[in-house]
Chains A and B, each alone.
Chain A
Amino acid sequence: MKVAYWPGCVSRGFTPELHGSMAAVAPKLGIELVELDRANCCGAGVIAEHNQELVDTLNARTFAMAQSVEGAAGMMNICSTCQGAQSECQERLDASSDYRGTVNEHLKPEGLSYERDGDWWNKNFLWLLVEEIGLDELRSKVVRPLDGLRVAPFYGCYIVRPTRRLGYAEHPERDQYLEQVIEAIGAQPVDYAGKHKCCGFPLITMNRTTSLRQAGRHLADAIDAGADCLVTPCPLCHLNLDLQQPDASKFVERDLGVPVLHFPQLVGLALGLEPKELGMNKHVVKTTEVQRKVAALAAA
C-alpha cells in the first residue's frame, strides 16, 4: 500500500527514533511511504489558537500535496497531535465550499488546491494498521510474539477526542485499537486510569506543575497496574512521558522509571526487528528491561 506520509516535526526532531522505527517497520507491513518533505508543521493546536485561517491554509497545503501523490491510498501520520490538529482543519475545510475557496486562494500560485473528497483520508499509523491492513494480516506477519510483555496503552488526547470530529461514528473502536494491536502481537494490554487522559505536554511551557503532575500520575498508575512499559502513537506524549519522566517523578513525589515505547517500535519488535534498529537505545528512561524480555523470547 502506497501512502503520502507526513512524519510531523517532532519525529524528525526530538524523537528521531520514532521516524527511524516507522521507516524500518513500513516495508515489513508492505507500506510504501512517500514522504511529504516539503510539507509544513500542522500547527499543533497553537497556530489554531493564533489564527484559524492561517492554520487551515497551512494544513490545506499539506493535504493538497498529499492528494497529488499518484497512486496513494491516502495520507498517513505518526503523531496523535498531527492527527487531531489536521482533522480539525479538515472539518472546517469540508464544512463550507466558500471557506475552502478562500483558503485555496492562498495556494493558487503553486497550483495547489485541497479538494473535498469523501474517499480521501488522513490516518495515524495506528488507525491505518487496524483499518487498512487489518489485525489478521498483522498477526500473520508476527515472527516474535511478545508473550508476557505487559504493555500499558497511552493514546494522546488528539486521537481520542472529540469523537465526532475523529471518525468515531464510522470506527467506534478507535479508542481500543492499541489494546487490540497489543493483543494481536502476543503481548498483554494493561488497563489503568490514564490511558485516554492528557500527558500534560501542551502545558509544559505554561504550567510545569500541572503538566508534570499529569504525566507523573499516569506513569505511576501504569506502574501500579503492573506495566513493563507504555506505548504511545504520539511523540509529544512521548516527550512528557519519557524525556520529562525524571522531572515528573519529583512532581508526584515517587520513583517512576517505566520505559515508554513509540507505537512503531512495539510493532517492530513483534515483526522481528532488533531494539537497536528501532532506536530503543535513544530513550531517556532505559528500555533495557524490555529488551531483556524480548531477547529471552527469542531464545525460548
Chain B
Amino acid sequence: MPTYSLKVRRFDPESGDAAYWESFEVELPPERSVLDGILQARNDQDGSIAIRCSCQAAICGSCAVRINGKTALACNTKLGEALERGKDGAIVVEPMGNMPVIKDLVVDMDAVHWKKVQRVVPWLLPDGPPPEREYIVPAESMIDITQAMACIHCGACVGACLALEVDPDFIGPAALAKAYRFVGDPRDGQTEERLRDLAEDEHGLYDCTHCFACVEVCPKDVAPMDQIMRLRRRATSDYGIKDGNNGYGHEKAFVNIIEKWGTLHEAQLLPRSFGQGSLIRSQIDPDSLKQLIPTLPTVINGLKSGKVSPKKALIHPKLPDQDQVRRIFDEVHSREERIELNMYIVGESGPEEES
C-alpha cells in the first residue's frame, strides 16, 4: 500500500499562535480520496484536525479545500492524482481562500459565501396571483438554467475567485450563478429588476475579471463565469441596461468597433466604452470626461514610449474584406432569437457529433 505525505495548513485561533504546516503520513490506495487521507490522519494521529465533511460523494459540498494550490472537493480528489501535482513529494492541503479561517481547513462560509448568496434574492419572485395548482413550464425553457441549478454551494469558486481576492465586495461567482438561475427561470417575474440591480451594483455583474478560475474549480461544471456572461448578455442585449461600470458601454464599443473595422481600434475602445458605445458622447458627456481625464497619464506614457503614434491613434485601417465581416454581423443580428449551443447539455440531448 502506498504512503502519502499530507502537508496540512493548521490554525487554531484559541491557541493565539500563527498558522503553521504539519505533515501526516497516511497509507491508502491511490484511488482513495484526499478526504480519506485526512480522516485517517485525524483518526490515527491527531484528533484535533478540523475539516467539514459529510457525504464523501461530491454531493453535499462540505469539504472544499485547496489542494496543491487549487480549490477542490477533498472527497472528489484522488490521492494518486493529487500527488502528481504535489510539491516535493507531498500533497499540500490548505483552507480555501477569500474566506476567514475558523480552524484548520474550516472556513467561515456564512461570512462570505452565504451572505453573498442572500444578496441576490435566491428565491422565485413570480408575478401575479399564484395559479390554482403548480406553475407549469415547458421542459425546454428550463434547459438554459439546468447548469446553474447544479450548484451544490461548496464555495470552491468563491475560494478561487481572483476578483474577490482584491475586491472582497464583489458579489462573486456562486451568487451570480445563483442569480442567473432565477433570471433565466420563465416563472420569475422580476427578471429586469434583478438584472438592473446586479448591473448597477459597482461590485456586481461588471466586477468579474473573466479569469476562468471559477470555471476551472467547480466540481459540478456549473461554469459560474459562463452564467455571469449570460447575465450580461441578457442585461445589455435584451434590456439595454446601462450601468455605472461601463459594462454596457464596453460591450457596445467593442462590438461596434469590430463591426466597423474588423480588428480592434484600441484608441477608440476606452472613450467609446465611457460614452456607452459612442465616440461623440464620450467627448461631450460630463460623466465620460470625468473618467477619461485620469487615463491621460497612461495615454501620454504610451505616446512617449513610442508604442502608440498619434497617427495610429487616429487612423485604423479596415480589413480588406470588411464587407464580409459586416455581412456576418448583419446576418446574426437579424435573427429573431440568439442561437446558443449549450455545451452543458449538448453531449446528452443535443445534436449527435460524429466521432
Across-interface contacts of A110 in B (CB, < 8 A): 321, 324
- In the complex, the answer to whether B328 meets A57 with C-beta atoms within 8 Å is yes
- In the complex, the answer to whether A106 meets B331 with C-beta atoms within 8 Å is yes
Cα–Cα, bound, A157→B269 (Å): 21
Q: Does A281 contact B (CB under 8 A)?
A: yes
Across-interface contacts of A45 in B (CB, < 8 A): 210
Cα–Cα, bound, A75→B84 (Å): 31
Q: Binary interface profile of B, 325-348, with partner A (CB < 8 Å = 1, else 0)?
A: 101110111010011110100110
Show 18 A/B contacts (Cβ-Cβ < 8 Å), sorted by A: A9-B266, A40-B319, A41-B258, A46-B255, A49-B251, A54-B333, A106-B331, A157-B162, A161-B212, A162-B216, A198-B210, A202-B209, A205-B246, A210-B170, A213-B167, A246-B301, A284-B302, A284-B307
Given A205-B273, A281-B306, verify A14-B209 contact (CB < 8 Å). Answer: no
Given A96-B353, A97-B351, verify A52-B305 contact (CB < 8 Å). Answer: no
Cα–Cα, bound, A16→B311 (Å): 14
- In the complex, the answer to whether A200 meets B209 with C-beta atoms within 8 Å is yes
- In the complex, the answer to whether A206 meets B298 with C-beta atoms within 8 Å is no
Q: Binary interface profile of A, 14-28, with partner B (CB < 8 Å = 1, else 0)?
A: 111100000000000
Given A14-B266, A40-B325, verify A47-B255 contact (CB < 8 Å). Answer: yes
Stretch at the interface among B27-35, B147-155, B175-183, B230-238: B230-238
Cα–Cα, bound, A45→B212 (Å): 11
Q: Does B4 contact A (CB under 8 A)?
A: no
Q: Binary interface profile of A, 180-197, with partner B (CB < 8 Å = 1, else 0)?
A: 000000000000000001
Across-interface contacts of B329 in A (CB, < 8 A): 54
- In the complex, the answer to whether A50 meets B233 with C-beta atoms within 8 Å is yes
Query: What is B's interface to A at a CB cutoff of 8 Å?
Result: 162-163, 165-167, 170, 202-203, 206-213, 215-216, 229, 232-233, 236-237, 245-247, 249-251, 254-255, 258, 262-266, 269-270, 273-274, 294, 297-298, 301-302, 304-308, 312, 319-321, 324-325, 327-329, 331-333, 335, 338-341, 343, 346-347, 350-354
Q: Which of B297, B308, B352 contacts A14 (CB 8 A)?
A: B308
Known contacts A41-B263, A95-B341, A109-B324; 7 further A-B pairs (Cβ under 8 A):
A9-B266, A13-B312, A96-B351, A207-B203, A207-B207, A214-B163, A282-B305
Across-interface contacts of B325 in A (CB, < 8 A): 40, 58, 61
- In the complex, the answer to whether B206 meets A206 with C-beta atoms within 8 Å is yes
Cα–Cα, bound, A127→B227 (Å): 29
For B269, the closest partner residue in chain A by CB is: A205
Q: How far is the CB of A284 from chain B (nearest CB, A)?
A: 5
Across-interface contacts of B327 in A (CB, < 8 A): 106, 109
Q: How far is the CB of A156 from chain B (nearest CB, A)?
A: 10
Q: Binary interface profile of A, 30-70, with partner B (CB < 8 Å = 1, else 0)?
A: 00000001111101111111111110111001000000000
Cα–Cα, bound, A52→B255 (Å): 12
Given A9-B266, A14-B302, verify A52-B338 contact (CB < 8 Å). Answer: yes
Q: How far is the CB of B251 from chain A (nearest CB, A)?
A: 5
- In the complex, the answer to whether B255 meets A209 with C-beta atoms within 8 Å is no
- In the complex, the answer to whether B210 meets A50 with C-beta atoms within 8 Å is no
Q: Does A163 contact B (CB under 8 A)?
A: yes
- In the complex, the answer to whether A53 meets B263 with C-beta atoms within 8 Å is no
- In the complex, the answer to whether A203 meets B324 with C-beta atoms within 8 Å is no
- In the complex, the answer to whether A282 meets B324 with C-beta atoms within 8 Å is no
- In the complex, the answer to whether B321 meets A206 with C-beta atoms within 8 Å is no
Q: How far is the CB of B109 from chain A (nearest CB, A)?
A: 23
Q: Binary interface profile of A, 244-256, with partner B (CB < 8 Å = 1, else 0)?
A: 1011000000000
- In the complex, the answer to whether B307 meets A16 with C-beta atoms within 8 Å is yes
Cα–Cα, bound, A210→B255 (Å): 24
Given A40-B258, A46-B254, A57-B332, verify A211-B209 contact (CB < 8 Å). Answer: yes
Q: Which of A56, A203, A207, A244 contacts B298 (CB 8 A)?
A: A244
- In the complex, the answer to whether A102 meets B162 with C-beta atoms within 8 Å is no
For A57, the closest partner residue in chain B by CB is: B328
Cα–Cα, bound, A158→B306 (Å): 27
Cα–Cα, bound, A184→B212 (Å): 29
- In the complex, the answer to whether A162 meets B209 with C-beta atoms within 8 Å is no
- In the complex, the answer to whether A210 meets B250 with C-beta atoms within 8 Å is no
- In the complex, the answer to whether B216 meets A161 with C-beta atoms within 8 Å is yes
Q: How far is the CB of A225 from chain B (nearest CB, A)?
A: 16
